[in-house]
Amino acid sequence: MGKKILLVDDEEDFLKVTSSRIESWGYEVISVANGKQALDAVMSKNPDIVILDYMMPEMDGIETLKRIRKINKKLPVIMFTAYPNEKAIEGAENLSVRAFIPKLSMYSDSQEALKQALKISEGRE
Amino acid sequence: MSINKKLIILSLALIVLPMILIGTLIFFSAKRHIEREIMAKLEVVADLKVDKIETFFYERASDVALAQNLFVIKVYYPIMKEYAKDTTSPEYITAKEMLDEYVNVFQKIYRYRNIRLVDLNKIVVYSSNPEEIGKTLPIATDSAFIDAQKGVRIGNIYSREENQYSMLVAAPLHDIDNKLVGVVVLEIDMNPIYKFIQETTGLGKTGETLIARHFVGEEEEVLFLNPLRHEPKAALNKKILFGDRAGASIQKAVQGKEGKGVAVDYRGKKTFSVWRYIKPLNWELVAKIDIKEVLRPVFTLSDLIAGILIVTILLDVIVAFWAARSILRPIKLLEKGVGIIGAGNLDYKVGTKSKDEIGQLSRAFDKMTEDLKKRTISIGKLNEEVAERRRVDEAIKKSNRIFNSILEMSPFGIYIINDKGGVDYVNSVMLEISGNTPNEFKSINFFKLPTYKELGLYDKIVDVFENGKSFKMGAVTYTSFHAKKTTIRNFTGIPLEREGAKKALIFVEDITEQKNAEMDIREAEQKEKEALDMKANFISVVSHELRTPLTSIKEGIALVSDGTAGEVSKGQKEFLDIAKRNVDRLARLINDVLDYQKLETGRMGFSIMEENINEIIGEVVEEMLPAIKSKELNIVESFASNLPPIRCDRDRVKQVLINLVNNAMKFTDKGNITIASQKVEGYIQVSVSDTGIGIKEEDLDKLFKSFMQLHVGKERKTGSTGLGLAISKKIIEEQGGKIGVESDFGKGSTFSFMLPIK
C-alpha cells in the first residue's frame, strides 16, 4: 500500500486532476476542499503527508497549517501557491514547511518534493 | 493775425462766397435758358424758309412744264422760227402776236422777268423782251439751258447786271410731231426771293439767314448766293475755302447735314447757328445770330452781380474794421491798465463801462487789483500760513517714518524707484532675496538694467511712472545684478507719490522654493503616469500574447474531446472536460482584463445608437433562460411600458446585464431572479434582484473594485474573474449612467443601473 497523501484545495477541478496525477505516481490521495475538512482528515485519516493550498477562502493555508501543527507537529507539509512570494514563505517559516511549490510547476516539481519529504519523515521515524 | 484781418476774412467768407455761388448759378441757368430759346427760334426760321424756297421752286418747275406743253407754243414757235428771216411776213407777225398774247396770260401766274423760246443753236426765237429776238442767248453757258434739252432744269443764280440777280428754269420744247425743236426758258427775278431769305424779323441786330452752294473750281469752295446782311455785295462773290474755320455751319450744311450749334460765321464771329440742306437746288441754308447779341442780357446780369459783389466787399471791409476797432479799443485800455498796475500802482482802475464780455473782463480785472491790494496788506497772515505749512511737513515726515518702518517689517522684498531710475529705499528682505549688499543694490539704475528690459519689467515700471498703472508679474526667474543669485519672483509695482515726486513701489515675493516643490510634484506625477501607461501597455500586450496559445490549447482539447483524434474513454472525457472548462475560464479572464484595461485607459470604443431598453432586456433573458432554468430558478420580468428610447451601446449594455444576471444566478440556489425596468427622473433604471445569499453591508462598497471577490465560502468556485462588476461600472459610467447595489444579507441583493434618457 502506498503512502497516504492529504490534498487540500478549494477548486474542484484542480483537486480532481491533481489527485489523479499523484495517484498515478503510486500514492493514495485523500482530497478535501477546505481547511476544516483538512483538519478532520488529519485527525481521522492519518495521512503521511499534506499538500496544502496557500490561498483558500475562509481558512487559508497558513491558518490551516497552524491548526495542523497543533495536532501534529511533525507531519510533513508541502505548500503550493499560485503566486509564490516572500510574504507567504515568511508566514510559513516557523511552521516546518518542507517545500513551496508554484502551482504552475506543480506536476514536474511535486513528485520530487514528495519523495524528499517522505524520505525525511521515514528517516525520522 | 490781427483781429482786424480775422474779422474781414471771416465775414468775406460768410457773405461773398455764397453770393459768388448764387450769381454763378443764376448766370449759367439764364444762359442755358436763352440758348435753348434762340436755338428753337432759329430752327423754326430755318425750316420755314427752307419750306418756302422748296415750294417756290417746285411751282416754277411746274410752270415751265406747263409752258413746254402749251399747244400754242408747239404750233407758233416753229412758224416764228421758220419766218425768222422775214419778220414782217404776216405768218411771223401772226405767230408772234399769238405767242405774245399767250405769254401775257402766262405772266399772270407769276411775274417772270423774261420768257424765252430758244432754238437748238441758242438763237432766241421768241422773247418777252423783243430786243433779244434773233440774238444769241445771253447766258448761253448756263447749264440749265444745255441740260434742259433732256428735261426740266433749274439753273444757277447769275448776276444779270449790277445788283440784279436771276435764275433760269428751262424745259425742252417739242413740236406737234414731238420733235425736239428748242428750249423754253423762264427767267426768275431773284430779288423777291432774296428779300424773303434776308427777312430778319426776330433775328435781332446781327441775325440773318443765308444760302450758299458747294462749288468745286480749282479748289473746293463754298459760294454765298445771296447778299449778306453784313456784306451786301457778297452774292456770287464771297467764297469760303472748304475746311476754313470761318463759316463752319455752312460747311456742315454743304455736306448734306442738318443741325445746330455754336459756329464761327463768315465774319469769324461766334454765332448760334442752325443749318439745313435744300436738296432739289443743291443749296445750303443757315440761320444764325451772334452769341454776343443773344447773351447780352445775361452778361448784363452778371455785370450787375459783379457790381453788387464789389460794393458788398467794400461795405464788409468797412464794417469789419469798425467791429474790430470797437473790440480792440477796450482791450488796449485794459492792456494799458495792466502795464500801470504791473508797475505797482494798485490804485489804478481800468474802468471800462461797455456791457460786453470785454467790459466784464476789465471789471473783473479791477476787482482782482482790489483783491491783490487786500492780499498785500495781509502779509502777516501769509507768514502764519507758512508756519502752518511747516507743521504739516513735520507731520508728513513723521508719517513717512512710520511708512518706512512698515516697509521694513514687511515679509516681502520692497524697494522704491525714483523718477530717475535710482533706488530711494530698499528693505532688508529685498537685499536677502537679491543677495546684494545695500550699496550694491542702491547703485543700480533700474531704467538702465538690461535684465529689466528683457523681462518687460522696464516697460511696466515706465507705465507706473507715466500712467500711474500698477502691475503684477508672476513667476519671473530673475538673476540679481551684482550677486548673480537666481530666484523665482513675483513682482508687484504700484505708483507712489512722495514729497511731490513720482515713485514706483516694487514688492518682490521670493517663490523659488514653492516653485521648485511644485516642479518636483509635477515630475513625480509625470513619472507615475508613465509607469501606469507602461503597466497598461504591458498588460494589454501580455493578454493578447496569451490568447494565441490559449486558442491552440482550446482547439487541441476540443479535437481530442469530440473524438476527431480517436476514440475517447469516459474517464478521459472527464479530464478533457476539466481542461476545457479551465481554458474557457482563462480566456474569459483575459478578455475581462483587456476590457478593463481599455475602459481604464479610455480606449474602449462605444457605438451609441437609439435603443429600446426593454428589447435589450428581452434578448438577455432569452439568452440566459436555459441556464436559469437548469438551476431551477424562476425569472420574473417587470417592464414599465412606453419607456422613451435611450442612447447607448447595445452590446455593452447587454454585457452588463448578462454579468448582473450571471452573478445573481451564481449566488442564488432557489427562488427568483427579477429583472425590472422603470423611468426615474431623466433616467431609465434597470434592476436585477435575486433571492440569494446577499452581501454584508461592509462589503458593499468593495464590490465594484477590480479583482474583488468576496471570500464567502464556496463562491470561489464560481469561475468568475473578479472583474465583471468593475467592468460593468465603467461601461455604465462611460455612457453617463450610474450603477449601484442594495442588499439584505442572507435574503438577496438588487443590482441596478441607470442610463440617461437624452
- Nearest-CB residue to A12 (from B574, B575, B717): B717
CA nearest B689: which of B613, B748, B616?
B748
Give the pairing of strands B748-756 and B738-744: antiparallel
Environment class of B332 (CB within 10 Å of its CB; exposed 0-12, middle 13-18, buried 19+): exposed
For residue A58, which residues of chain B lie inside 8 Å, CB to CB?
Answer: 711, 713
Section B181-199 average pLDDT: 87
What is the residue-wise DSSP string for B35-94?
A: HHHHHHHHHHHHHHHHHHHHHHHHHHHHHHHHHHT-HHHHHHHHHHHHTTT-TTSHHHHH
Task: Tell me B646's DSSP state.
Answer: E
d(CA A7, CA B170): 163
Q: Which residues contact A93 (CB under 8 A, 6 or more apart)?
A: none
CA atoms within 13 A on the CB side of B528: 6
Contacts of B490 (CB under 8 A, 6+ apart): B472, B473, B474, B475, B476, B507, B508, B509, B511
| Set of chain B residues whose Cβ sits within 8 Å of the Cβ of A11 | 716-717
How far apart CA B351 and CA B336 sit, in angstroms, is 12
Best mutation target, B578, B584, B707, to test chain A (most A CBs within 10 A): B578
Cβ distance of B715 and A13 shorter than 8 Å: no
Residue type for position B286? V
Structure-block grid coordinates of residue B665: 444566478
Count Cβ–Cβ pairs < 8 Å, chain A vs chain B: 23
Would you state the torsion angle of the CA atoms of residues A110, A116, A121, A125, taken in this order, to the nearest 10 degrees? 150
Q: Which residues from chain B sit within 8 angstroms of residue A18, using beta carbons?
A: none
Per DSSP (E only), the strands in B481-583 are 486-498, 501-510
Share of chain B above pLDDT 90, in %: 13
What does the block give as the cell for B464? 507706473
Per-residue pLDDT tens digits for B270-302: 888 898 888 888 888 888 898 888 888 888 888
- Let me know: does B408 contact B428? Beta carbons within 8 Å: yes
Partner A, chain B 696-715, Cβ-Cβ below 8 Å: 711-715
Mutation for A interface: B584, B714, B718, B721, most A CBs within 10 A: B714
For residue B156, give the nearest of B139, B171, B142 by alpha carbon. Answer: B142
Kindly determine whether residue B578 and residue A11, on different chains, have CB atoms separated by under 8 Å: no
- Band of residue B719 on the pLDDT scale cut at 50, 70, 90: low
Query: What band does B707 get if pLDDT is binned at 50, 70 and 90?
Result: low
Element (H, E) at B260: strand B259-264
CB distance B340 to B348 below 8 Å: yes
Q: Are the CB atoms for B288 and B263 separated by under 8 Å? A: yes
Q: Tell me the pLDDT tens digit for each residue of B161-187.
A: 777 888 888 888 888 888 888 888 888
Contact A16 B578 (CB under 8 A): yes
Q: What is the pLDDT along chain A (125 residues), one digit of tens a residue?
A: 578 999 998 888 888 888 888 888 888 999 999 889 999 999 999 899 998 888 887 788 888 988 998 888 888 888 887 766 666 677 777 777 777 777 666 666 777 777 777 776 655 44
Q: Which three cell numbers stand for residue B605?
A: 470604443
**Measured between CA atoms, how close is B719 to chain A, in angstroms?**
9
Query: Which chain A residues touch B586 with a CB distance below 8 Å?
Result: none
The winner for highest mean pLDDT among B466-470, B531-535, B592-596 is: B466-470
Kindly list the residues from chain B whose CB atom is less than 8 angstroms away from the CB atom of residue A12.
Answer: 717
Chain B within 8 Å of A20 (Cβ-Cβ)? yes
Spelled out in words, what is the top-level CATH class assigned to the domain A4-121? Answer: alpha beta
Using a CB–CB cutoff of 8 Å, tell me whether B581 touches chain A: yes
- Which residue of chain B is at minimal alpha-carbon distance from A18? B575
Binary contact (B711, A11; C-beta < 8 A): no
Is the Cβ–Cβ distance between A53 and A110 less than 8 Å?
no
**Residues present in chain B in total:** 758
Identify any residues that bridge with B504 across adjacent strands, giving them in sequence order: B417, B495
In angstroms, what CA-CA distances link B430 with B393, B442, B483, B567?
Answer: 29, 12, 13, 94
Predicted confidence (pLDDT) per residue in B457-475, tens digit: 899 898 888 888 999 998 8
The three three-digit cell numbers of residue B458, written as one number: 522696464
CB contact under 8 A, A13 and B582: yes
Q: Min CA distance, B713 vs chain A (Å)?
A: 6
Mutation target among A10, A11, A12, A13 for the B interface, most CBs of B within 10 A: A13
Contact A11/B at CB under 8 A: yes
Pick from B574, B575, B711: which is nearest to A58 by CB? B711
Taking the C-alpha atoms of residue B194 and residue B162, their distance in angstroms, rounded to an integer, is: 15
Can you give the pLDDT at residue A125?
41
Q: Flag if A57 and B711 touch (Cβ within 8 Å).
A: yes
Does the pLDDT value for residue B378 go beyond 80? no
pLDDT bin (cut points 50, 70, 90) of residue B408 is confident
Asked whether the beta carbons of A55 and A81 are under 8 A apart, the reply is: yes
Chain A residues whose beta carbon lies within 8 Å of the beta carbon of residue B714: 57
Q: Please return the burial class of B588, using the count of CB atoms within 10 Å of its CB with bins 0-12, 13-18 and 19+.
A: middle
Tell me how far CA of residue B75 lies from CA of B79, B96, B125, B581, in angstroms: 7, 11, 13, 157
Q: Are B717 and A16 a contacting pair at CB < 8 A?
A: no
* Consecutive H or E run containing B609: strand B609-611
Chain A partners within 8 Å of B582 (Cβ): 13
| 3-state SS record for A30-67 | EEECCHHHHHHHHHHHCCCEEEEECCCCCCCHHHHHHH
Provide the chain A residues 50-109 that lie in CB contact (below 8 A) with chain B. 56-58
Q: Are B204 and B291 in contact (CB under 8 A)?
A: no
Hey, how many other C-beta atoms are within 10 angstroms of the C-beta on B494? 15
pLDDT band at B145 (very low <50, low <70, confident <90, very high): low
Residues of B in contact with A59 (CB under 8 A): none
Given the C-alpha cell 447595489, which residue does it identify?
B741
In the numeric block, the cell 473594485 is attached to: B705
Q: What is the mean pLDDT of chain B?
A: 84
Task: Write out pLDDT tens, residues B537-572.
Answer: 787 788 778 878 888 888 888 888 888 888 889 988
Interval B567-590: pLDDT, tens: 889 988 988 998 888 888 888 888
Q: What pLDDT does B414 receive?
A: 92
What is the b/e burial string over B175-190, where b = at least 16 CB atoms within 10 angstroms of the residue's CB? eeeeeebbbbbbbbbb
Using one digit for the tens of pLDDT, what is the confidence trace for B418-446? 888 899 889 889 998 889 898 998 888 88
Domain spans of chain A, in order of start: 4-121
**Among B570, B708, B711, B721, which would you mutate to test the A interface (most chain A Cβ atoms within 10 Å of its Cβ)?**
B711
Name residue, grid cell 469516459: B570
Decide if B632 contacts B595 (C-beta within 8 A): no
